Structure 1
């Protein structure tokens, strides 16, 4: 009983002089009161392919771009009629958050993307066949000749920039971050 009074008195003094931080330190010093925190659950990183599937489940259409920023994927989707556009974020756990939605897009501007024979998902697959690794970016590029631009973090440690033809699905150009100033090869590189 005497011990309890001393502990209570000591706690009261600590509270008056040290505040909550001191109480936490005092409580942690007592092994009977120490609680071990459960280990943090491992973070489930979503792949580009999974992020694309989650985005399209939320908003059916055609992926215009997909880009990884930390553990979050930013995905732009155009509706199948070309009039709608949505910006989504897909988290590391594959939950989808809508950032912005527009329903009065110019369908004529989006027609080449919407009618492309090769989707973003197929372009990613072609790029990964040429350069195994993980896709970090895929985007529709219609400046000049339309193509898919895919960036792959290769298993070889290099970052590969790959262009995929939207009609045939073939890799038309690729280069890595360690290539010369041209940053690309002139021909098909299926290494």
Structure 2
């Protein structure tokens, strides 16, 4: 009876390490002692589990993190190396925060906060039907890739307010476009190729 218990325990251990085939082979070859020894060897030589890479924070993720830290409306969001720079305006128009969001961890750092701004200066942004987050989704839907920049653009020359969005494609090219702040219509401005040095390897951020 004791021998059967030993065999069962050894087989169970080897099953965990190498599966049914390994357990059967070891038991047939050398019995319980061999199974225990083989299990120990398997544990010593088993490769360490690969460490999962940190998730990269997208434009949408950076916006969400920024607004959680400082509620309001996104005015601009720009990726520089491994950092997102985000400007947020409070919904009363008086507060303005410049935030940094770590692209690897999502951690938010407040660089500058102003609570005594001119509410009238941001009235168009606050009244816009299309938010920065929605502009990003619209732009990426029109031109697949990763949004790298979204900026509020409201000119005084009668031009309709819009969001300027840059989308970086898998082919390395950057697509520039605008998203109408009232209708969400996407208009392409240009396609050009930018090197990774411009977008991914700038350590100044």
Same fold, judged at TM 0.5 (above):
yes
Q: Which runs of 5+ in 2 are unaligned?
A: 1-48, 194-205
**Within 5 A, what are the aligned runs for 1:155-174?**
155-174=170-189
1:119 pairs with one of 121, 124, 131: 131
- Secondary structure at 1:177's aligned position in 2? strand
Residue 6 of structure 1 is matched in structure 2 by none
Say which SS state the counterpart of residue 149 (structure 2) adopts: strand
Aligned equivalent of 1:70: 81
Question: 5 Å matches for 1:71-90?
Answer: 71-90=82-101
**In the alignment, does 2:72 pair up with 1:95?**
no
Say which SS state the counterpart of residue 42 (structure 1) adopts.
Answer: coil
Deviation at 1:41, TM superposition (A): 6.0
Distance apart, 1:156 and its partner CA: 3.4
Name the CA distance, whole Å, in 1 between partners of 2:92 and 2:58.
27
Larger helix fraction of residues: 2
TM-score, normalised on structure 2? 0.65
CA distance in 1, matches of 2:149, 2:105: 18
How far did residue 88 of structure 1 move?
Answer: 0.4
Q: Does 1:49 align with 2:60?
A: yes
Listed as ranges, the matches of 1:24-63 within 5 Å are 42-63=53-74
Matches within 5 A, 1:134-145: 134-143=146-155, 144=157, 145=159
Residue equivalent to 1:109: 121
**SS of equivalent residue, structure 2 residue 152:** strand
Residue equivalent to 1:10: none
Tell me, in whole angstroms, the C-alpha distance in 1 between the residues paired with 2:79 and 2:174: 14
Shift of 1:172: 2.8
**Within 1, Cα distance between the matches of 2:187 and 2:122?**
22
Which stretch of the first structure deviates more once superposed, 128-137 or 150-159?
A: 150-159
Unaligned runs of 5+ in 1: 1-37, 179-191
Rounded Cα–Cα distance in structure 1 between residues aligned with 2:54 and 2:137: 24
Measured after TM superposition, the shift of residue 40 of structure 1 is 6.9
- Rg (Cα) greater in structure: 2
TM-score normalised per structure 1: 0.70
